[in-house]
């Protein structure tokens, strides 16, 4: 594909403009007892691959005393990456084979949350941001039949929202909890690939 016909939203366009540089609010949803609710509920059961809802984001923000501003890059720490890296080999193999991972439910409510908060990026420490396997009652079964109702194309193509997957946020979330500070300056520098639709994030949080 020639550069003249390449989407202005491809990774080379981001790289040419130095990538997103914004204030970053971190949301810790790894334990409802510490970040997402006042109840003493257990940590997320990542072996089961739970589906998360936008209500969890709002509860985390309230518990942390944080708010999302226009143009923010939102990072969501669920603990999935750390769980996957530290669980036993048999569980990792079974998780890969079943393509099961914690993530946000395929819902218009989640897309609306991202749109209404006018965020510039959504990144999580999960495999795909959205829950896998896709929920049988996904709101996007008819608009994304080739992807079994995944919401990637709804978020990326239709909302223009970049997604960050498999970001290891463990140390960052721990520092946030230790300092009580949940925002920072986050830079994301994608590779300069003409027409690219994905790239290593090359993300750095400055605190």
pLDDT at 163: 94
* 17, part of any domain: no
* 150, part of any domain: yes
pLDDT tens digit string along 75-119?
999 999 999 999 999 999 999 999 999 999 999 999 999 999 999
Task: Report d(CA 31, CA 102) in Å as an integer.
Answer: 13
CB contact at 8 A, 122 and 163: yes
The CATH number of the domain holding residue 59 is: 3.50.30.50
CB contact at 8 A, 97 and 122: no
Tokens of 109: 């409510």
Query: Which residues form the domain of 64?
Result: 24-206
Task: Report d(CA 203, CA 101) in Å as an integer.
Answer: 23
pLDDT tens digit string along 9-52?
555 555 555 444 444 455 555 433 223 222 223 479 999 999 99
β-pair partners for 121: 73
Task: Report d(CA 104, CA 207) in Å as an integer.
Answer: 27
* 125, part of any domain: yes
List the one residue out of 134, 85, 67 whose CA is nearest residue 107.
Answer: 134
Q: What is the count of structural domains for the chain?
A: 1
* 118, part of any domain: yes
* 42, part of any domain: yes
Predicted confidence band at 199 (pLDDT cuts at 50, 70, 90)? Answer: confident
At residue 145, does pLDDT exceed 60? yes
CB atoms within 10 A of CB 55: 12
Helices (H) and strands (E) in the chain, counts: 7, 8
Residues 6+ apart with CB under 8 A from 44: 29, 30, 31, 50, 78, 79, 80, 102
Task: Report d(CA 23, CA 67) in Å as an integer.
Answer: 11
* 114, part of any domain: yes
Q: pTM for the whole thing?
A: 0.81
* 120, part of any domain: yes
* 169, part of any domain: yes
């Amino acid at each position: 594909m020639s550069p003249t016909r390449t989407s202005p939203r491809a990774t080379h366009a981001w790289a040419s403009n130095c990538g997103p540089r914004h204030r970053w609010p971190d949301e810790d949803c790894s334990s409802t007892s510490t970040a997402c609710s006042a109840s003493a509920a257990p940590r997320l059961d990542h072996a089961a691959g739970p589906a998360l809802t936008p209500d969890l984001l709002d509860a985390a923000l309230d518990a942390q005393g944080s708010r999302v501003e226009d143009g923010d890059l939102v990072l969501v720490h669920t603990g999935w990456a750390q769980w996957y890296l530290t669980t036993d080999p048999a569980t990792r193999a079974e998780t890969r084979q079943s393509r099961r991972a914690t993530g946000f439910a395929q819902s218009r409510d989640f897309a609306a949350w991202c749109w209404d908060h006018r965020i510039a990026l959504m990144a999580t420490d999960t495999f795909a941001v959205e829950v896998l396997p896709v929920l049988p009652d996904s709101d996007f079964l008819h608009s994304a039949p080739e992807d079994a109702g995944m919401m990637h194309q709804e978020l990326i193509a239709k909302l223009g929202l970049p997604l960050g997957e498999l970001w290891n946020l463990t140390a960052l979330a721990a520092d946030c909890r230790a300092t009580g500070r949940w925002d920072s300056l986050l830079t994301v520098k994608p590779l300069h690939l003409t027409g690219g639709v994905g790239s290593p994030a090359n993300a750095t949080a400055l605190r």
